[in-house]
């Protein structure tokens, strides 16, 4: 049985992806910062482990507990929404620490075993906002665009060892907690000079009746990235993400 380790599984994309692989017979290690509810998954179908991707000791512990890992999905991430002028540098560092450095740290942690076996897949979940510039998302977009670039480069390094690295780019997902969590992190508020822009952006989102992304779209894209040796390097997930990728 193949084993997959997925980060950020308490809700949304990570939770659905863990269920997707468990339903298809994989040994799933679902990690999250604070495991609280074993009822997230059917009994005995998934191993739930605590993981803070910003903590080296936590990473080492989950790698040891997981055993041999055939696929890693770097899904853990935090959102943020604000004008860059109103974004404290502490918040910038927190975002990059989780979204960017956490992905790199997890990749480093699994590489020795994959390289020695000359097999494995790493999938990094970023965002379709890296395909289309949007206001108020500059720091978040930068943290995810850095992962795109990291993925493309490390894929070239690891091809010689039979290890594949892919990016999945979800679109807008209003049915997940991600957007709510992003808004909750706007602790310092928006700078007053950007008020009209902020109102226009939020109004546009509320009025947007176009296609969106579901958690199942992302789970299916991750599945493709893991099981299909011929999958593309970048896989948009969701109708809106596909449209953005095609129109880039």
Written as tens digits, the pLDDT of the chain (248 aa) is 799 999 999 999 999 999 999 999 999 999 999 887 666 777 677 999 999 999 999 999 999 999 999 999 999 999 999 999 999 999 999 999 999 999 999 999 999 999 999 999 999 999 999 998 889 999 999 999 999 999 999 999 999 999 999 999 999 876 655 555 545 555 457 888 888 898 888 887 777 767 889 999 999 999 999 999 999 999 999 889 898 888 75
- The per-residue pLDDT for 173 is 76
Q: DSSP of 130-169, one letter per residue?
A: GTS--TT-HHHHHHHHHHHHHHHHHHHHHGGGTEEEEEEE
- The per-residue pLDDT for 121 is 98
- The per-residue pLDDT for 45 is 78
23-26 contacts, C-beta under 8 A, 24 or more apart: 24/223, 25/1, 26/1, 26/2
Cα distance between residue 188 and residue 190, in whole Å: 7
Are 208 and 179 spatial neighbours (Cβ–Cβ below 8 Å)?
no
Are 184 and 91 spatial neighbours (Cβ–Cβ below 8 Å)?
no
Q: In which order are the strands placed within the sheet that holds 27-32? A: 46-50, 27-32, 3-6, 71-74, 120-125, 163-170, 234-237
CA 187 distance to own-chain centroid: 23
- The per-residue pLDDT for 187 is 44
Please tell me which residue in 13, 41, 80, 140 is annotated as part of the active site: 140
CATH number of 3-247: 3.40.50.720
**194 flagged as catalytic:** no
Cα distance between residue 247 and residue 131, in whole Å: 9
- The per-residue pLDDT for 176 is 55
Cα distance between residue 58 and residue 34, in whole Å: 12
Total length of the chain: 248
């Amino acid at each position: 049985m193949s084993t997959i380790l997925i980060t950020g599984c308490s809700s949304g994309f990570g939770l659905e992806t863990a269920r997707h692989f468990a339903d298809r017979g994989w040994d799933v290690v679902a990690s999250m910062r604070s495991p609280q509810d074993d009822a997230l998954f059917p009994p005995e179908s998934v191993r739930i482990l605590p993981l803070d991707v910003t903590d080296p000791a936590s990473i080492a512990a989950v790698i040891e507990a997981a055993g041999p890992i055939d696929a890693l999905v770097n899904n853990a991430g935090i959102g943020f929404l604000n004008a860059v002028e109103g974004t404290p540098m502490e918040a910038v560092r927190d975002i990059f620490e989780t979204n960017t450095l956490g992905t790199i740290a997890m990749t480093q942690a699994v590489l020795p075993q994959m390289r020695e076996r000359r097999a494995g897949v790493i999938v990094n979940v970023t965002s379709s906002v890296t395909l289309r510039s949007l206001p108020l998302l500059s720091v978040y977009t930068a943290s995810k665009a850095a992962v795109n670039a990291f993925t493309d480069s490390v894929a070239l390094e690891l091809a010689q060892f039979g290890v594949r690295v892919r990016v999945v780019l979800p679109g807008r997902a209003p049915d997940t907690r991600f957007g709510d969590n992003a808004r909750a992190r706007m602790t310092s508020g928006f700078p007053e000079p950007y008020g009209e822009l902020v109102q226009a952006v939020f109004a546009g989102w509320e009025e947007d009746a176009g296609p969106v992304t579901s958690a199942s779209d992302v789970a299916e894209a991750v599945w493709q990235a893991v099981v299909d040796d011929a999958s593309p390097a970048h896989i948009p997930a969701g109708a809106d993400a596909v449209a953005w990728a095609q129109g880039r």
